[in-house]
Amino acid sequence: MKAFRGQPSIFTSRQPENTRADLEVKNLSLQFGGVTAIDNVDVSVSTGEILAIIGPNGAGKTSLLNSITGYYKPQKGSIIFNGKDITNLSTHHLTKIGIGRTFQNIELFPGISVLKNMLLARHIHTRYGIGLASFFSPSVKREEVSHRRVLEELIDFLEMQAIRKQLVGSLPYGLRKRVELGRALALEPKLLILDEPFAGMTLEEKEDMVRFLLELNEGWGQTMILVEHDMSVVMSISQKVAVLDFGRKITEGPPEIVQNHPEVIKAYLGDAVKI
């Protein structure tokens, strides 16, 4: 990742305690009325891994992500992050301890610029209050420079220099997905959760996104969980794949093992076709 103004990258120089992202989901169950969305699911991801969660539509993939990120509260089971039970924590608290995400349906503010959308993510790192902000004190200025450095480094990395001042609503869909990734990264998450990051993209846009995610993982050590339907992408970038079907986990393991699992082939693509 490029450094800003000749300084060392703030991302690649993070301390080990700021990158640890061990997540374990144990016996998780989630119901909506009489419908079971997640049925006694176990999954885990270790620091530095990319875990992909796949399965047919309605398999419970997004419900699982929403449980991990605090939008849904499961009726059974636990979610452990870096040794701490986070099952019942609020979304805001989970963001503060280092879990960031993107959404299946883009959740950006279309009426403001790319830069301002990304700046909104820095609020969890803001230390000053309204009093100091009103006078724009020296400490506030220093902190604002620090926030700006993070954003400029991310804009350079994601190759968004040309659109940094454009309104998000004026951008094509693929670039909006890139902006949403930038905003999630502006949180400086330990664990990055991506819900269908390649959906709606052209082949060229997918290739760019693959390149960004691999560089984040290999160069930054970024831990990720992603839900994705494009199997060529999943099998090429993931170290581990978990497969859901009707809310239950079929299997979990390395891509080359999972793609040949008989139940995966049957549930995901039918008896006669391999992934």
**pLDDT tens column, 216-247:** 999 889 999 999 988 889 989 999 999 999 99
Contact 147, 120 (CB under 8 A): no
Residue type, 231: M
Range name among 12-16, 35-39, 101-105, 246-250 with the lowest pLDDT average: 12-16
How many whole angstroms separate alpha carbon 7 and alpha carbon 149? 10
pLDDT of residue 23: 97
pLDDT, tens digit, for every residue of 94-132? 999 999 999 888 889 999 999 999 988 887 766 655 555
Confidence class for position 139, pLDDT limits 50, 70, 90: low
Range name among 62-71, 98-107, 155-164 with the lowest pLDDT average: 98-107
pLDDT exceeds 60 at position 135:
no
Overall average pLDDT of the 33-50 stretch: 95
Q: Which domains does the chain have, with CATH numbers?
A: 19-109+189-269 (3.40.50.300)
Overall average pLDDT of the 47-54 stretch: 96
Instruction: Please name the residues in contact with 250: beta carbons below 8 A apart, sequence gap of 6 or more.
Output: 55, 243, 244, 261, 263, 264, 267
Confidence class for position 259, pLDDT limits 50, 70, 90: confident
